[in-house]
A and B are shown apart, each in its own frame.
Chain A
Amino acid sequence: MDLGFSEEQEMLRKTARDFLETECPTSLVKEMAEDEQGYTSELWGKMAELGWMGLALPEEHDGMGMSFLDLAVLLEEMGRACLPGPFFSTVVLGGLTILEAGNEEQKKEFLPKIAAGEAILTMALTEPSASYDPASITVKAVPDKDDYVISGTKLFVENAHIADYLICVTRTKDGAGKGEDGITLFLVDGKSPGITTTLLKTIAGDKQCEITFDNVRVPQKNMLGERDKGWPVVAKILQKATVAKCAEMIGGAQAALDMSVAYAKERIQFGRPIGSFQAIQHHCANMVTDVDGSRFITYQAAWKVSEGLPAVMEVSMAKAWVSEAYRRVTQLGHQIHGGIGFCMDHDMPLYFKRAKAAEPTFGSADWHREIVARELGL
């Protein structure tokens, strides 16, 4: 058992922190929250040069061949910096899905592009029912000659408005039950005729979209994995995405804690630093437990996923805990900052908003508690 980072991970962490501190200041984060695109190609290009998009992709596809656990280390730093843009959707939802389910040709075509930062991807999974279970998939794909024709509405699809490719999760079996059977994944060109994307205005300014597919034609060769057997792939990616999200969240929670402790040391009221008042000290101590607890439950899950071990329970435990811990940490962070933290110009709200946005993403605490209950045999 070793609860520390390896030397390489430590180096990755440090490089990422230094890079993001210079290249991704909070001023940029705030600008991008308002910006329609939500990212700059300059920063995106620099990240690609560092090899980040291909970090967890195999070397044969121009990746760096590092592990999922390493990716979690990087994501933690990205969460700390509130990195805007399509890294998560491209790499975790896009790249890892193609790696999981793609055939050789698809891998050859798409993975090097992703690694080079030349393609932006996302996954069109959730629908207006806003749920992560297979029964919620109703968008249809119907075979027609050499194509499939997709129609229906997807909602809460991050970065769909800028995506070169969407991995669309569709239902391909009519009449079949609404369960796991009959779900198929397609790689859809984002510019295909019949696709309309509408950007939503959301709490964190992340780029969530509604997409309508109006008889969108996709060539059969763009089917990802087997027909009707797509759900296990989605389930696997959801597991990774959930842990990856938790990693991002602990980065944010740690930043909110660090910022609050620093402020508590410097803010003077009643002739002394507010950090000398016990009420503030105890808030900070509670935040530490939340952050540390989040970190190790997340890395335990990430380690299991990375090793390919069964991790349903661990992943759900992590998300249930981290969702609430990040929320608690940012609430206390605001409390410690007083009025100044309530201003849009301040950085504290960045974390508060991201905590709130991350809570329901890939399943809320309630959703995951129910999974844990099932795993307990209840």
Chain B
Amino acid sequence: MDFKLTPEQEALKKEFEDFFEVEMKHEPEDWVWGLEGLFSDAGWPFNVYMAKRLAEKGWLVRPWPEEYGGCNAPMIEQLIFGDVLGYYCAPGVDPLGVGMIGPTILAVGTEEQKKEHLPPIAKAERFWCQGWSEPNAGSDLASLTTKAVKDGDDWILNGQKCWNTGAHRADWCFTIARTNPEERRSKGLTYFILDMKSPGVSVVPIESMDGSKHFNEIYFDDVRVPSRNVIGEVNGGWAITQATMNYERSSVGIMSGASRGLNELVQYCKETSLRGKPLSQNPHVRHRLAQLAIDIEVGRTLSYRVGWLQEKEDIMAAAAAACGAKVYSTELWQRVAFTGIEIMGLYGTVAKGSKWAVLKGQFEDLAQSTPGYKLGGGTSEIMRSIVAWVGLGLPRIK
């Protein structure tokens, strides 16, 4: 047991911090981190700018092999990076390209696929979206109905996807479609990647409850996808979706983002008086903030543990721990947001842009986006079930 960073790791951390300290000065006015912040008209150019800067530094895909733009960085360094990135609430790391499809292609893609797709991700030249969910296939993804039919050397895709974050910005999409209608559920599914400019792809925005337009519906209308864009085996897509979901699920960024939020709240409570007394002297407020600090520290150890298990290649334990950390971190984040607006009282309800908004209205904003974080990427219920099945070996009866 040893919780300290080596001097080299400390130095690296400092380097990351110094970078973001400077670069975050380019933040657009009234910009607030979140899906809205990443994909809105004001936020997208900042996101791309930061992505390019990170690519120049060689930091976007540090864990990848050198030939694809990385530096084989160990997991612990990635955790440190995620920690700092999260604390600065910085954009720039495409959660879908860098976070999901890149590692998937790295693990199961062909040489050609790696050569074609990994460098543009590493250089921040190509952004991705995830086209998995459908109106009738959410948690039960294996029941999806989007179809792909072979036509010569191509596949023709037809169907509707939904809740696709950033699809309106993305250059490419990774998706799953049913290629064997005879097989039920997970057996007849194939994993595809496709150019969003392909004829027949259309994207319709969906406004989410926090007023942001980050997610979308995607319609595939006779979209032609060449065979070389199948990832893995035909009808073997399900196993790959499972692998995609297991990359970098440490949730470390949420913990450090929460920690940043808490620091700002603490500061606010020290500076703000209610009925002539600083909020920081109200015992109820003190205890709520202390509890958040404790919960965040616990969360940090839980997410570092995910990385540590991944590094040890204890894959099943890491998967279960990651699911546990996902539930924990998203629920914690919601508590941070709610605690914030509750302590602020009426001021907590004022949205950004008003002179009366507290802390740029970020808590009003965050509070409304947190319900989504408990759903996207696997709902809390599904995550808990995976902890029980995979982590504890409790029986799964279908």
Contact = CB atoms under 8 A, between A and B. Distances in A.
A348 interface: no
Given A288-B324, A320-B290, A378 B270 contact: yes
Central interface residue in B5, B289, B383, by most chain A CB within 10 Å: B289
B286 A378 contact: yes
Interface in A228-254: none
B297 A297 contact: yes
Contacts of A261: 392-394
A29 interface: no
Nearest to B312: A4
Interface in A333-378: 366, 369-370, 372-373, 376-378
Contacts of A123: none
Interface in A260-281: 261, 264-265, 272-273, 275-276, 278, 280-281
Interface string B302-314: 1011001000100
Interface string A119-152: 0000000000000000000000000000000000
A185 B286 CA distance: 33
Nearest to A300: B3
B98 interface: no
User: DSSP majority for the B interface?
Assistant: helix
Contacts of A276: 394-397
A289 B266 contact: no
Given A3-B308, A320-B294, A373 B289 contact: yes
Interface in B39-89: 76
Central interface residue in B4, B297, B321, by most chain A CB within 10 Å: B297
Contacts of A3: 1, 301, 304-305, 308
A285 to B, nearest CB: 4
B6 to A, nearest CB: 8
A69 B301 CA distance: 17
Contacts of B327: 285, 289
Interface residues on A, range: 35 or more
Contacts of A4: 1, 308, 312
Contacts of A303: 1-3
Contacts of B286: 369-370, 373, 378
Interface string B205-221: 00000000000000000
A376 B266 contact: yes
A372 B293 contact: yes
Contacts of A109: none
Nearest to A309: B4
Nearest to A6: B1
Interface string B240-271: 00000000000000000000000000100110
A304 interface: yes
A363 B384 CA distance: 32
B385 interface: yes
Interface in A150-185: none
Given A261-B392, A299-B1, A281 B298 contact: no
Contact of B387 (A265, A285, A317, A376): A285
A2 interface: yes
A39 interface: no
B1 A292 contact: no
B321 A372 contact: no
A15 interface: no
Central interface residue in B290, B299, B321, B389, by most chain A CB within 10 Å: B290
Given A292-B302, A303-B3, A282 B270 contact: no
B328 interface: yes
Contacts, number: 148
B109 interface: no
Given A1-B304, A292-B302, A317-B297, A272 B289 contact: no
B394 A296 contact: no
B244 to A, nearest CB: 22
A54 to B, nearest CB: 21
Contacts of B381: 278, 282
Interface in B175-206: none
B287 interface: yes
Given A285-B324, A304-B3, A369 B290 contact: yes
A289 B329 CA distance: 11
A288 B391 contact: yes
A6 B5 CA distance: 17
Given A288-B324, A293-B302, A373 B290 contact: yes
A218 interface: no
B280 interface: yes
B272 interface: no
Interface in B312-365: 312, 320-321, 324, 327-328
Contacts of A293: 298-299, 301-302, 328
Central interface residue in B302, B393, B394, by most chain A CB within 10 Å: B394
B106 interface: no
B273 interface: no
22 contacts: A3-B1, A3-B301, A3-B308, A261-B393, A273-B394, A275-B394, A276-B397, A278-B381, A280-B394, A281-B384, A285-B327, A288-B387, A288-B392, A289-B328, A292-B302, A299-B3, A303-B2, A314-B297, A317-B298, A369-B294, A378-B269, A378-B285
Given A265-B393, A289-B302, A370-B286, 6 more contacts: A273-B394, A278-B381, A285-B324, A296-B305, A297-B297, A378-B281
Interface of B: 1-5, 9, 76, 266, 269-270, 280-281, 283, 285-287, 289-291, 293-295, 297-299, 301-302, 304-305, 308, 312, 320-321, 324, 327-328, 381, 383-385, 387-389, 391-397
